[in-house]
Each structure stands twice: as C-alpha cells, then as structure tokens.
Amino acid sequence: MFKDFASEQIHVEGASIFTRWSGQGPPVLLLHGHPRTSATWHRVAPQLVERGFTVVCPDLRGYGRSRGPAPTADHAGHSKRAVAADMVAVMQSLGHSRFLLAGHDRGGAVALRLALDHPDVVARVALIDCLPISEHLSRITAKFATKWWHWFFFAQPEIPERVINADPDGWYRGDPRSMGQENYDEWREATRNPDVVRAMLEDYRAGLTIDKRHEESDRTAGVRIQCPALALWSLQDDLEDLYGDPLKVWQQWAPDLRGHGIDSGHHVAEEAPDALAASLGDFFAD
C-alpha cells in the first residue's frame, strides 16, 4: 500500500499531521472522510501519480495518526476552518503554494472551507459525496433525520464516546475485503483509539455549531468558490434520493461547476477507484 510514497508527521500550529506523498508534477491534495484515514486513497493516489501528479494524502486533524488540540466548549479546534489551515500549512511545508484539491465526505467540508478561506492557493476543487453542512441542515426532514441520525447522536456530550468505545468493531464494521487489508488494519487501529474517536466526534460537533455559522456567514456575504469545481456523488449512496440533483445545490456555492454521479457505494475511493481516479485526473488536467 502506497508503494514509493514518503510519509512524515508534519507539525503545524496546534496539530501534528500524518502525511503521505509521492510523484512529480502539479500537486494534488486528497482529503478523506469519516471514519477513514488517508489510507482510503490507496487505490486512487497511485493512479494519479501515474498520470503525472504529485499526490499528498494527510490524515485530518485528530483522525488516524494526526493529532490536534484537546476539545473545547466551542469546538473551534476541530472546526473545518482550523483543519483547512492545517492543510495549507502541510502543503506549504512540502513546497506547494498552490494546488489541486479533492475532499470526500467530511473531507469535502474541509475542502469547501479551504477553497472559501484560501482562494489564492486552490487551483481547482473536487467535492465528493458531500454538500455544504449548512445546506444539509437547512433541509432537515424526517427522512434526513432517520438516515443521518448519527450527526445528532455524535453531537451529544460524552454518550457517543461511551457507546462507540465499548465496541468500536461493532460500531464501525469495516470490511478488509472491500477496503484492502492494509487500509482496514490502519483504519481499525485508529478507530480503537479513544482519542481518535473523541476527535472524530468533535468534527461533527463543530459541524452543527461553528462550521454551520461560518457557512451561513459566507452565504449571506456572497462568498463563493472562485476556482473551477467538480461535484461527484455515489449513485448507490443517498444524496440524489434526499435532494435530487446535487449540482443544483452546489451551483449556489460554485459558479464554475460541473459534475456527475459514479456507480459506487459511499466509500467510492475504495469501491470504484478507477472511475474516481479517471474523473479526478481528467478534471485536474483540464
């Protein structure tokens, strides 16, 4: 897994970010979702390297082998703004002042925040299996709350930690056959670490509070993604079922937008890596 990739703990303000990278050419930053680590990209990243990109795969703050600050009442240390700043610092430490960007799931929320807060460093952004958090919350229905109940469970103080840490394997239920054994082993080690579990929950707690406020403020002020954007979604997941065409939502945030669905379940980097790598590679090379 990740043959010929270097790896390092990169220290940034307030955090230590485990990062993998390889390749020569235009830099691409890949951001994973919950509850994965950077290893979720192990079938996609090498294909992008082969297409002539430098590919950087970090663990988000608190996930995997990355570490961040202790949680606070306002959840600011685990906000998408803080995590986006981590990613800019990581890329700068590797010599990349401007880069291509893709984020999946919670990594997509970070990618959105990074593109909004740091428009000068993002050349293009791909947003995978996600919508802005505030858009989800403004469309809450019984159907959404039933399917995505974990958002609101994770927001509760202390109880989710006790439930998940009592049986992390039963809660997260990974599959080494579909994930790949090494990816699964890395993910399982992370999800059995109570500090990682706490940080992943803080990600969601920030989402319902400080991240929502940041997005609503941007929406009111007319802040939009300034670079070309690509929205991708898994056809076997539920974005279309909940909202119809995801592009109609993203158009309000990204004037220069394109996108399409991919025949996959939610963890598209593991389940449909060839299709995802082709879509990303074509968009980034355009």
Interatomic CA distance for residues 272 and 277, integer angstroms: 9
Q: How many residues does the chain have?
A: 286
Active-site entry in 86, 105, 218, 237: 105
59 DSSP assignment: P
Report which of 53, 61, 58, 56 is spatially closest to residue 24, judged by C-alpha positions.
Answer: 53
Cβ atoms within 10 A of the Cβ of 119, count? 14
Determine how β-strand 229-234 pairs with β-strand 99-104.
Answer: unpaired
Angle at 77 between CA 163 and CA 138, to 5 degrees: 75
SS3 content of the chain, % helix, strand, coil (to 5): 50, 20, 35
Marked catalytic residue, from 117, 118, 245, 266: 266
Whether residue 136 lies in the annotated active site: no
Expressed in angstroms, the distance from the first to the final Cα of the chain is 28
DSSP conformational letter for 225: -
Q: Cα separation of 61 and 196, whole Å?
A: 9
Active site residue 267: no
Residues tagged active-site = 105, 266
